[in-house]
C-alpha cells in the first residue's frame, strides 16, 4: 500500500508483533499468529531469540511453522525437550520467560482475556477451548503481548469470563502477579497499550491506511486515543519476503 509494496492487514499485524521482540529474549509462543511473529523475529532482527512452546520444546528453531503446538519439527530442532509439567514449573512459573504471547476470543478494556465461554459458564452460547497455558503465561511471563484481530465482538467492555487476568475486572491492577501483564495489544488495525494510571487500553498507534474511526468502531468501549498517536512503519520488503517465504515453506510442508 505504501511505496508500491502491498501487504495484508494480517501481515502488518505479524510484522508489528515481531518487531516487539528483542534479540536474546526468551519467548513463550502459541500456535498461529504468535508463532508466525516470533519466528519472523528470529529470521530477521532477533536471531538469538529463544522460542519455547508449551509442548516442552525449548530453544526450538523450526524451518516451517508448526500446525500444532507439538509438531515433530519443534522437537527435532529444539535445544532440549522437557516434559509438560517441567515446562510450566521450572521454566514458566520460575520467571524465566521474558515475553509470553496470548490471543483470545474476547479482550476487555483492562486487558483481561477470555478463551473459555461466550455467555454463561454453565450454559454457554459458545463453548471455547478453555484456558490451556494462558492463565499462568498471563501471570508469570515478564510481559505479555496480545495479538488479535480488531473486531467489535472481540473488543468488549467486559469479558464474559476472565480466563487470563490482565489488570482485573475493574482495572484494579496486577493483584500481586509477578509479570507486568499485557504491555501491548497488537491488532490488524493498530497498537494498544494500557494507560499507566488507569490500566485502560488506549490506541497508541495505527497501521498505515487505517482510520482512527475504524478502530473506534471496532472497539466495544469508548476507545481512548493517545495524544501522540503514532503510525506504524509499514513492513519492509525484507520483512515481507522473509514472512512470505516462511509461509510458503510452511504451506508446502504441511500439504505434502
Q: How open is the CA angle 145-149-155, to the nearest 5 degrees?
A: 85
Nearer to another protein, 90 or 209 (CB): 90
3 binds another protein (CB under 8 A): no
156 binds another protein (CB under 8 A): no
Query: Binding to another protein (CB under 8 A): which residues in 27-56?
Result: 31-32, 50, 54-56
Query: Binding to another protein (CB under 8 A): which residues in 76-95?
Result: 76, 79-85, 88-90, 92-95
3-state secondary structure of 115: coil
For 71, the enclosing helix (H) or strand (E) is: none
Task: Show the site string, 159-198: x = touches another protein by CB under 8 A, - = not.
Answer: --xxxxx--x------xxxx--------------------
Q: What angle do helix axes 9-19 and 237-255 make, rounded to 10 degrees?
A: 110
Closest to 145 measured CA to CA, from 29, 11, 7: 29
* Cα–Cα distance measured from residue 7 to residue 249, given in angstroms and rounded to the nearest whole number: 18
116 binds another protein (CB under 8 A): yes
204 binds another protein (CB under 8 A): no
Query: Binding to another protein (CB under 8 A): which residues in 7-26?
Result: 24, 26
Q: Determine which residue in the list 100, 111, 133, 182 makes contact with another protein, applying CB under 8 A.
A: 133
Q: How open is the CA angle 200-206-207, to the nearest 5 degrees?
A: 145
Nearer to another protein, 130 or 209 (CB): 130
244 binds another protein (CB under 8 A): no
Catalytic residues: 54
Q: Determine which residue in the list 127, 152, 153, 244 makes contact with another protein, applying CB under 8 A.
A: 127
* Cα–Cα distance measured from residue 21 to residue 32, given in angstroms and rounded to the nearest whole number: 17
* Cα–Cα distance measured from residue 12 to residue 187, given in angstroms and rounded to the nearest whole number: 9
Amino acid at each position: 500500500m505504501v511505496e508500491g509494496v502491498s501487504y495484508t492487514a494480517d501481515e502488518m499485524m505479524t510484522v508489528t508483533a515481531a518487531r516487539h521482540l528483542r534479540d536474546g529474549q526468551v519467548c513463550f509462543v502459541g500456535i498461529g499468529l504468535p508463532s508466525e511473529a516470533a519466528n519472523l523475529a528470529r529470521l530477521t532482527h532477533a536471531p538469538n531469540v529463544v522460542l519455547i512452546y508449551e509442548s516442552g520444546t525449548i530453544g526450538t528453531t523450526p524451518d516451517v511453522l508448526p500446525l500444532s503446538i507439538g509438531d515433530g519439527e519443534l522437537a527435532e530442532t529444539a535445544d532440549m525437550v522437557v516434559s509438560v509439567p517441567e515446562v510450566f514449573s521450572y521454566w514458566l512459573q520460575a520467571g524465566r520467560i521474558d515475553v509470553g504471547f496470548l490471543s483470545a476470543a474476547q479482550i476487555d478494556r483492562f486487558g483481561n482475556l477470555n478463551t473459555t465461554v461466550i455467555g454463561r459458564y454453565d450454559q454457554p452460547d459458545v463453548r471455547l477451548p478453555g484456558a490451556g497455558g494462558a492463565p499462568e503465561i498471563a501471570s508469570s511471563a515478564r510481559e505479555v503481548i496480545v495479538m488479535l484481530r480488531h473486531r467489535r465482538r472481540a473488543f468488549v467492555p467486559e469479558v464474559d469470563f476472565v480466563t487470563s487476568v490482565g489488570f482485573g475486572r475493574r482495572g484494579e491492577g496486577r493483584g500481586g502477579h509477578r509479570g507486568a501483564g499485557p504491555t501491548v495489544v497488537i491488532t490488524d488495525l493498530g497498537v494498544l497499550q494500557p494507560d499507566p494510571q488507569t490500566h485502560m487500553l488506549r490506541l497508541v498507534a495505527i497501521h498505515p491506511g487505517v482510520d482512527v474511526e475504524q478502530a473506534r468502531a471496532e472497539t466495544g468501549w469508548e476507545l481512548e486515543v493517545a495524544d501522540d498517536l503514532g503510525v506504524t512503519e509499514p513492513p519492509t520488503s525484507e520483512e515481507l519476503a522473509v514472512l512470505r517465504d516462511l509461509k510458503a515453506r510452511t504451506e508446502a510442508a504441511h500439504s505434502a
